[in-house]
Amino acid sequence: MKALVCDVDGTITDNRRRINTDAIICIRELVDNGVPVVIASGNTTCAVDILCKMIGTRGEVIVENGGAIRAGFDMDLMVLGDQEVCWEAFRVIEEHFATRGKKLTLYSPQYRFADVAFARNVDVDEVRRIVQDLPVKILDSRFAVHIQSDGLNKGEALKKIAPLMNLSPEDFLAVGDSSNDIEMLECAGIGVATGNADRQTMDAADYIVGKKYGDGFVEAVSKYFISPFLAYSDQQLHNP
């Protein structure tokens, strides 16, 4: 494999959403030896940027669950989603639950460009039924409910960011744990689910590691990139 794309929450964290330190070492080792690492998250660009800076990647990101991409810190953010239709759907959902005395809590609306996200304090299946006739889809990341315009996901975003990096999706190892990672695992050359992944995600993966969360991520990278703690020669990188 020539590159890596990975989810954040549940994939390079522990069960308390703390970043796994071995996962950081693993990613740094890859980047320092010329392997591009794309961070793919449902979070905002500014939040993922801080993570990329602290970990030490070059800023290649898929954010808002495929709603926007950027092929490096020195590149412009490309917004792929139609946020207006998401806001229209949110207003319908908000009005529905307001009649029951329930208030929806938005997550970082001022920093989102493609989707709308809110707290998981309402039934997600009910949310899906409310907007089933609208041109949106509802994603449950297990940390938030996301409203996205149709046709967007991390897999479609990978298809768009890969050529900007002079790569193809088949060049990537993808690692994830949740249903919002499924298309990414299917699109990549090899898709790996961590041991804490849900059943749908495991079914979509080419391989399932035994370990969970960040330890599972390190196990996956060790399997397909020899070892996260070993340097990689040019020959290994260009002849996977």
- For 57, 132, 203, 223, the CA distances from 28, given in Å and listed in that order, are 7, 42, 29, 17
- For 87, 159, 173, 208, the CA distances from 44, given in Å and listed in that order, are 16, 20, 23, 28
Asked about 133 being catalytic, the answer comes back as no
122 by DSSP, 3-state: which? Answer: coil
Radius of gyration of the chain (CA): 18
Phi, psi of 117, rounded to the nearest 5 degrees = -125, 145
Phi, psi of 144, rounded to the nearest 5 degrees = -160, 165
Q: Which residue of the set 7, 9, 82, 115 is catalytic?
A: 7
AA identity, residue 183 = E
Cβ–Cβ under 8 Å, residues 119 and 103:
no
Cβ–Cβ under 8 Å, residues 136 and 147:
yes
Nearest-angstrom CA–CA distance, 95 and 208: 41
Catalytic amino acids?
7
